[in-house]
Amino acid sequence: MAVGVYLPIWGMQMEEGKVVKWLVSEGDSVEKGDLLVEIETEKITNVVESAAAGILAKIVAKEGEVVKITGLLAVITVEGEGQTAIDAVIAQGALKEERPTTLIMMQESKEVSIPPMESSEVTASPLAKKMAKEHGIDLAKIRGTGPEGRIVKEDVMAFIEARSNAPAATRGIAPQVEDKSFDGEIVTMSQTRKVIARRTLESIKAPQGTLTREVDLTDILKFRKSIMPEFEKQYGIRLALTPLFVKAVALAVKAVPIINSRIDGDKIYISRKVHVGVVVGVKDGIVIPVIFNAHAKSLAQIARDWESLLKKASEGNLKIGEITGGTITISNVGNVGIDIFTPILNPPESAVLGITRTRQRPIVKDGQITIGEMAYLCLTGDHRVMDAEPIGQFLMGLEKILQNPSILLL
């Protein structure tokens, strides 16, 4: 029986993927589990596997095309099946690609044959109900994609997006006239920038605030310099600053666990494991690869992980599992000369640590004026989860670790 090869959903934030390269050709025989096509999402490359054995009879999505999640990529047939079987799968794929929001927008603009559920029949998660209330949305107009039709957060977000993207006439808004006087360049957003734009909007919905602490990094910089030759000789890798910060953050979280948490509805989930994401700049924006179980790893293990992730990020070869699942994020902007900034939360995490550039400044130490390698630690926290006190405790604890760096080797 002919089957379709569809674009998988590799994460809650994923909406579409770009076909990079087909690894097989039309007419080739394939086995279940064979690698078929490379897909790029958020500057991450994943490979779609064959769901069945047979013949790759039709490639629907060509290289370079952008496909929505669950969109049809190709058709696999078995011996004896012809064009009729292929056409049937393509027709089914067209229906599969239609999202619930399509019906929603039709209901807002005109009557359709599918009646909305009665309010009494609506089932939704607490977070979906809260979002609907905040945006003045009648949940009866939304069709849920959760278990047994339950409305989840993503359904409400899709409704909001569809409503904002609806033609102006359906929303009672006069259509905008193109500005003929514009003189400049219009750039179409890349896949990465689209994701960044969407996640930034999602982030600012959280009531967040940033607290800043100036710290002296003289000790940690001297420590790194002193152990670099032996470290490289023993482990075969150059010790960057990032692994030191990752290890320090993982240790500091132990004393203030609330920093390492996320919120869902009226529940706060405090993780015992510390998975540290680190912001990395790429061609069209940023990615945030994650160092998992940083609390349980040695400095050498963290350094190895970081070197591997950094290489993959630069080559665009990060997998979805390497950029999701973080519990806290580090954003170091020292390399672009920033003194103080406000890092933005990386949902669903509740805290993000910003690190600024280091500058030599006079400070008073033990009653004497000396020169310190000064920088700012800027921590943004979700105020639904934490207030100033735990943020301050975390920053003080982190400063203590950075000024006693031998702790990082324990």
Are 13 and 132 found together in one domain?
A: no
Q: Tell me which of 98, 128, 149 is where a domain ends.
A: 98
- Asked if residue 175 belongs to a domain, the reply is no
Structural domain total, the chain: 3
Please, which pLDDT band fits residue 170 given cuts at 50, 70 and 90? Answer: very low
Query: What integer is the mean pLDDT of 102-119?
Result: 36
Give me the helix-helix angle, 241-255 and 218-235, nearest 10°. 120
- Asked if residue 321 belongs to a domain, the reply is yes
**What whole-number distance in Å separates Cα of residue 52 and Cα of residue 50?**
6
- Asked if residue 93 belongs to a domain, the reply is yes
Contact (Cβ atoms closer than 8 angstroms) between residue 324 and residue 220: no
Q: Tell me which of 65, 82, 98 is where a domain ends.
A: 98
Contact (Cβ atoms closer than 8 angstroms) between residue 224 and residue 42: no
Residue 101 has pLDDT above 50, yes or no: no
Are 239 and 321 found together in one domain?
A: yes
For residue 19, the SS3 value is strand
Are 54 and 202 found together in one domain?
A: no
Residue 120 has pLDDT above 60, yes or no: no
CB count within 10 Å of CB 194 equals 17
Residue 362 has pLDDT above 90, yes or no: yes
Lowest-confidence pick of 169-178, 235-244, 342-351: 169-178
- Asked if residue 402 belongs to a domain, the reply is yes
- pLDDT confidence of residue 130: 79
Are 255 and 379 found together in one domain?
A: yes
Are 266 and 143 found together in one domain?
A: no
Please, which pLDDT band fits residue 8 given cuts at 50, 70 and 90? Answer: confident
Are 90 and 105 found together in one domain?
A: no
Assess whether 295 carries a catalytic annotation.
no
Residue 285 has pLDDT above 50, yes or no: yes
- pLDDT confidence of residue 282: 82
Are 357 and 297 found together in one domain?
A: yes
- Asked if residue 294 belongs to a domain, the reply is yes
Q: Read off the CATH number of the domain in which 79 is found.
A: 2.40.50.100
Are 88 and 109 found together in one domain?
A: no
**Continuous segment of H or E residues that includes residue 20:** strand 16-22
- Asked if residue 173 belongs to a domain, the reply is no
In Å, what is the CA distance from 346 to each residue of 203, 272, 310, 331?
6, 19, 19, 10
Are 211 and 296 found together in one domain?
A: yes
- Asked if residue 183 belongs to a domain, the reply is no
**What whole-number distance in Å separates Cα of residue 373 and Cα of residue 317?**
35
Are 236 and 148 found together in one domain?
A: no
**What whole-number distance in Å separates Cα of residue 114 and Cα of residue 410?**
63
Residue 3 has pLDDT above 70, yes or no: yes
Please, which pLDDT band fits residue 90 given cuts at 50, 70 and 90? Answer: confident
Average pLDDT of the residues of the chain: 83
- Specify whether the backbone of 330 is left (phi greater than 0), alpha (psi in -120 to 50) or beta: beta
Are 156 and 216 found together in one domain?
A: no
Q: Which residue has the higher pLDDT, 254 or 177?
A: 254
Q: Read off the CATH number of the domain in which 109 is found.
A: 4.10.320.10
> Can you give the residue range of the structural domain that contains 106?
101-168
Are 78 and 113 found together in one domain?
A: no
Please, which pLDDT band fits residue 56 given cuts at 50, 70 and 90? Answer: very high
Q: Read off the CATH number of the domain in which 377 is found.
A: 3.30.559.10
- pLDDT confidence of residue 350: 94
In Å, what is the CA distance from 196 to each residue of 193, 200, 231, 277, 285?
5, 6, 36, 15, 8
Please, which pLDDT band fits residue 169 given cuts at 50, 70 and 90? Answer: very low
Lowest-confidence pick of 96-110, 145-159, 210-224, 313-327: 96-110
Q: Tell me which of 123, 153, 168 is where a domain ends.
A: 168
- pLDDT confidence of residue 111: 34
Query: What integer is the mean pLDDT of 101-125?
Result: 44
For residue 256, the SS3 value is coil
Assess whether 383 carries a catalytic annotation.
yes
- Asked if residue 326 belongs to a domain, the reply is yes
